[in-house]
């Protein structure tokens, strides 16, 4: 009797559209068993499973569940469970709201063993995780999938699943070890034969390139509650906000040593199909009353620019407005109280 190879033990944190399709690819490839952490959709999915319409895996997939569903991050030591080989984080990254990513995953991290895969937007998202877990390999992932949880447990996957994953430097983990972990994860993810996972040899380039879109379209859409098609039709939104923000990101990237294509702004301005009337994810979040991930998408590039001596007046204005919108959401959720305190600057 031939023994079967051991499957990778994977914890997925963030079972919305992107995370669920990631779990589906990992499970159906046969090389991983996924424990998925669910929050608001836990009760529905526990009873009914996920309903998935997928451009790559097929429509009307009913009642699908990963190997295990949980409603909180497992505590490996206290629960006596097998250490996780990979923790894949696909939640929105909101470092200005506690708990942070590094705090959320802490109970599930086995020092020196668990590989932490951050499939999230923004710049410098890896730094706090590396600081907290210096003996663990940290992988940086950028997802280009189009997938949305339209209601609890219902997933619409309408644009191909492409993800780039590469190593991020850690003080106590060799580059060779991190590269090996990244290539192993890519192999596990690609095993289903229907997605496009790639080993990324230039993580900074990939992140800065995606920031060209997210720092501009994603952010301005959130402020204006406007889809990208209307922005392009209006023309003035592109000319006075979108293109200038993109060029500030491009200039900052260049100062940081990352040379983006000369025509990157014009390409990104036209990247969405003309007739989709698409609202980017951050805009969708604020319309749902959720926190927005503006710090890593606008704040970090802006702070990098300040350190490098690059002027970013448009990004700075966008950042100030988004921070005000986040404050309103925090107030609505009871995290801040609008009252004067000793030392208030403008009292």
Shortest CA distance to 11 belongs to which of 81, 61, 80? 81
Confidence at residue 4, expressed as pLDDT on a 0 to 100 scale: 54
Asked if residue 185 and residue 224 are part of one domain, the reply reads no
Based on the number of CB atoms within 10 Å of its own CB, is 23 exposed (0-12), middle (13-18) or buried (19 or more)? buried
Asked if residue 15 and residue 150 are part of one domain, the reply reads yes
> 201, 236, 253: which is the final residue of a domain?
201
Confidence at residue 347, expressed as pLDDT on a 0 to 100 scale: 86
User: How many separate domains does the chain show?
Assistant: 2
Asked if residue 211 and residue 230 are part of one domain, the reply reads yes
pLDDT < 70 regions, the chain: 1-4
Dist. CA 237–CA 224, nearest whole Å: 10
Confidence at residue 3, expressed as pLDDT on a 0 to 100 scale: 47
Asked if residue 179 and residue 234 are part of one domain, the reply reads no
Asked if residue 316 and residue 244 are part of one domain, the reply reads yes
Asked if residue 59 and residue 194 are part of one domain, the reply reads yes
Report the CATH number at residue 109: 3.40.50.720
Asked if residue 323 and residue 226 are part of one domain, the reply reads yes
Dist. CA 136–CA 86, nearest whole Å: 10
Confidence at residue 1, expressed as pLDDT on a 0 to 100 scale: 44
Chain centroid to CA 302: how far? 19
Confidence at residue 146, expressed as pLDDT on a 0 to 100 scale: 87
Asked if residue 178 and residue 244 are part of one domain, the reply reads no
For residue 73, give its domain range: 8-201
- Asked whether the beta carbons of 115 and 87 are under 8 A apart, the reply is yes
Based on the number of CB atoms within 10 Å of its own CB, is 199 exposed (0-12), middle (13-18) or buried (19 or more)? middle
What count of other Cβ atoms lies within 10 Å of the Cβ of residue 323? 15
> 174, 201, 228: which is the final residue of a domain?
201
Asked if residue 143 and residue 269 are part of one domain, the reply reads no
- Asked whether the beta carbons of 75 and 108 are under 8 A apart, the reply is yes
Which helix (H) or strand (E) element contains residue 68?
strand 68-70
Asked if residue 154 and residue 41 are part of one domain, the reply reads yes
Which helix (H) or strand (E) element contains residue 265?
helix 264-269
Is 37 part of any domain? yes
Name residues whose C-beta falls within 8 Å of residue 18's C-beta, 6 or more positions apart in sequence: 90, 119, 143, 145, 147
- Asked whether the beta carbons of 116 and 133 are under 8 A apart, the reply is yes
> 169, 185, 201: which is the final residue of a domain?
201
Report the predicted TM-score, pTM, of the whole model to 2 decimal places: 0.94
Dist. CA 285–CA 269, nearest whole Å: 22
């Amino acid at each position: 009797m031939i023994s079967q190879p051991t499957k990778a033990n994977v914890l997925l944190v963030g079972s919305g559209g992107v995370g669920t399709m990631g779990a589906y690819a990992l499970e159906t490839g046969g090389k991983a068993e996924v424990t998925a952490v669910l929050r608001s959709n836990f009760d529905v999915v526990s009873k009914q499973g996920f309903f998935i319409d997928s451009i790559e895996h097929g429509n009307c997939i009913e009642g699908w569940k990963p190997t295990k569903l949980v409603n909180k991050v497992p505590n490996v030591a206290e629960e006596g469970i097998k250490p996780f080989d990979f923790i894949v984080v696909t939640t929105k990254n909101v470092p200005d709201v506690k708990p942070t990513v590094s705090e959320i995953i802490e109970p599930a991290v086995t020092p020196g063993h668990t590989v932490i895969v951050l499939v999230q937007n923004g710049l410098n998202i890896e730094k706090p995780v590396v600081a907290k877990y210096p003996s663990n390999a940290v992988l940086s992932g950028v997802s280009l999938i189009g997938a949305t949880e339209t209601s609890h447990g219902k997933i619409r996957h309408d644009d191909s699943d492409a993800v780039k994953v590469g190593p991020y430097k850690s003080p106590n983990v060799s580059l060779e070890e991190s590269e090996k972990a990244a290539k192993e994860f890519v192999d596990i993810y690609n095993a289903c034969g229907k997605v496009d996972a790639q080993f990324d040899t230039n993580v900074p380039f990939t992140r800065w390139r995606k920031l060209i879109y997210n720092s501009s379209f994603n952010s301005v859409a959130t402020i204006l509650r406007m889809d990208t098609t209307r922005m392009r039709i209006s023309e003035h939104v592109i000319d006075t906000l979108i293109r200038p923000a993109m060029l500030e990101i491009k200039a900052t990237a260049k100062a940081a040593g990352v040379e983006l294509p000369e025509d990157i702004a014009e390409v990104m301005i036209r990247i969405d199909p003309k007739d989709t009337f698409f609202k980017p994810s951050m805009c969708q979040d604020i319309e749902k009353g959720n926190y927005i991930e503006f710090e890593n998408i606008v704040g970090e590039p802006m702070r990098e620019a300040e350190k490098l001596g690059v002027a970013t007046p448009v990004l700075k204005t966008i950042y100030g407005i988004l921070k005000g919108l986040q404050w309103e959401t925090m107030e609505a959720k009871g995290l801040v109280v609008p009252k004067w305190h000793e030392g208030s600057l403008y009292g």
